[in-house]
Amino acid sequence: MVLKIIMLVVFFAIMIAVGLYCRKHSTNVNGFVLGGRSVGPWLTAFAYGTSYFSAVIFIGYAGQFGWKFGIASTWIGLGNAFLGSLLPWVVLGRRTRLMSQHLKSATMPEFFGSRYLSKGLKIGASAIVFIFLIPYTASLYNGLSRLFAMAFEVDYVWCIVVMAVLTGIYVIAGGYMATAINDFIQGIIMLFGIIAVIASVLMQNGGFMESLNGLAMVQDETVSSVPGVFASFFGPDPFDLLCVVILTSLGTWGLPQMVQKFYAIKSEKAIAKGTIISTIFAIIVAGGCYFLGGFGRLFSDKINVAANGYDSIIPTMLEGLPDILMGVVVVLVLSASMSTLSSLVLASSSTLTLDFIKGNICKKMSEKAQLRTLRILIIVFILISVLIAIVQYNSNVTFIAQLMGISWGALAGAFLAPFLYGLYFKKATKASVWVCFIFGTGIMIVSMFFKSALPAFLQSPINCGVVAMLAGFVIIPLVSLFTRKPDMQHVENAFSCYEKTVLVHAKEALGEEEVL
């Protein structure tokens, strides 16, 4: 116990020290929100990865889908790595950095307002961000509660209060730069921690091959009558597995706290390096988490899913770890959750300040007033999320995956298609974006409160979120055909940032002369 406490104290001290050190980078709004758009590839890639993977993945999704799909759940992690990390950097990275700087937008709602020439879209998007980031934040606390209860026998309320206060301190002090540096430190812990945990858990069952053989012997007639299905390539339900891959991978393309990382990256070279680093990080962390969760049924004699829920699976698997490794696990999950929480509160507070209060409630807002409002709203958002987490803990929404699916489905369903088309498609109209906003959030609200009114397939938040996201790719071009065309002069100006001539070294691009 003393060893675990020492590890936590050192971890917290480093986080706060980084926040205080980065105060010099947060003296203006650009520095506080985007780190002055000068963040290098390593920090940006780790910030992207640690914002992506949290206790929601490690405790919630890895446990639930590892139990449901067996070793095939590893496909979810690989999907996260290639569809959720590699492709966004390739497809969105450069264009997001160029157009967001050209339009002078620091947040996703501000991008919508500038790109589609609509103040209403900007305000509407900011409201969606604030409302639907709250369930996601609550899910972070939920995942931590079980782990801390097991390792320290600490009350759930104290867990979330300590985590929230410490995260608030370093984000308020150092802004985006403090978040990025701490994300890097936390990412290193996650990389080494997940490898050590996987090795230790497998050794409890005789190593990898023995564990795989044991998994092949598991039979659950309520899931499938096929022998060895939990050790098979695609598991007992390939279609549901595909839906989870799509939601958790494609969803990141429309999440404001993820896309905002591209706003802040320093250069073209940084994007190329960041793509590689981010993908490798995701393969190890996400692939490792789901791979670990796939062996959950080997501990079925200790796990009562009906009584304790899916969120109890991973903590039960970790109960037999040595004390020092248990301390590593606690710091690992805390790192993952604090990095995601810092991204969420920064995205939410910057959205409300820059997109809702500035220019609407306060017509003239000085730089100093904006910074003060940003910091106040960070505190407000953390307080709201803490209260929601405590209420949620005692409510009937008990599974982390439910909260995650609702939040991701609404945000990505509303934003993914409008953002992607905004970067690539000149004919996208303001009306089509509104339709996408309404459909994406509307279907998830119906899923949350009137689930029984939906078809059986859509009663799962996962499936509903997938439909919300994919529908946007049809809604934008279809509605754009029948609604008022955009101001083409404004659109051409927005896309002009892609046409600027940039000189590079010959090693990066061949010249016009033929090379023999």
- For residue range 462-480, what is the model confidence (pLDDT) as tens digits? 888 889 999 999 999 999 9
Asked whether 229 and 69 are in contact (CB, 8 A), the reply is: no
Asked whether 370 and 358 are in contact (CB, 8 A), the reply is: yes
- When pLDDT is cut at 50, 70 and 90, the band that residue 515 belongs to is very low
Sort 16 into a burial class: Cβ within 10 Å, 0-12 / 13-18 / 19+. Answer: middle
Q: So what's the pLDDT on residue 61?
A: 82
CA 204 vs CA 216, 228, 297, 303, 332: distances in Å: 17, 21, 13, 16, 20
- When pLDDT is cut at 50, 70 and 90, the band that residue 449 belongs to is confident
Identify which has the larger pLDDT, 13 or 508.
13
| Least-confidence region, from 29-33, 179-183, 447-451, 509-513 | 509-513
Asked whether 377 and 349 are in contact (CB, 8 A), the reply is: yes
Looking at every residue in the chain, the average pLDDT score rounds to 84
Q: Is the pLDDT of residue 74 over 80?
A: yes
Q: So what's the pLDDT on residue 149?
A: 64
- For residue range 387-428, what is the model confidence (pLDDT) as tens digits? 777 776 666 555 554 666 688 889 999 999 999 999 999 999
Q: So what's the pLDDT on residue 72?
A: 93
Q: Is the pLDDT of residue 76 over 90?
A: yes
Sort 366 into a burial class: Cβ within 10 Å, 0-12 / 13-18 / 19+. Answer: exposed
Q: What is the DSSP letter of 356?
A: I
Structure-token pair, residue 369: 């007033």
- For residue range 91-123, what is the model confidence (pLDDT) as tens digits? 998 899 889 889 988 889 999 999 999 989 999
Q: So what's the pLDDT on residue 227?
A: 82
Please, which residues bridge with residue 447 across strands? none
| Least-confidence region, from 19-28, 440-449, 489-498 | 19-28
Domains of the chain: residue spans and CATH: 2-396 (1.20.1730.10)
Of the chain, the end-to-end C-alpha distance in Å amounts to 68
Residue of 57, 34, 430 lying closest to 251 (CA atoms): 57
Q: So what's the pLDDT on residue 469?
A: 92
Mean pLDDT of the region 270-276? 88
Q: Is the pLDDT of residue 354 over 90?
A: no
> What pTM did the predictor assign?
0.87
Percent of the chain exceeding pLDDT 90 equals: 26
Residue carrying the six token digits 């004699």: 301
Structure-token pair, residue 491: 């659109």
Q: Is the pLDDT of residue 53 over 90?
A: no
Where helices occur in 58-155 by DSSP H, the ranges are 62-69, 74-81, 87-88, 94-102, 108-115, 119-152
Q: So what's the pLDDT on residue 88?
A: 93
* CA angle in degrees (0–180, nearest 5) for 445-449-450: 100
- When pLDDT is cut at 50, 70 and 90, the band that residue 291 belongs to is very high
Looking at residue 109, its amino acid is P
Mean pLDDT of the region 313-334? 79
Q: So what's the pLDDT on residue 12?
A: 83
- When pLDDT is cut at 50, 70 and 90, the band that residue 64 belongs to is confident
Residue carrying the six token digits 């002009």: 496
Q: Is the pLDDT of residue 253 over 80?
A: yes
Q: So what's the pLDDT on residue 307?
A: 74
- Distance (Å, rounded) from C-alpha 139 to C-alpha 478? 35
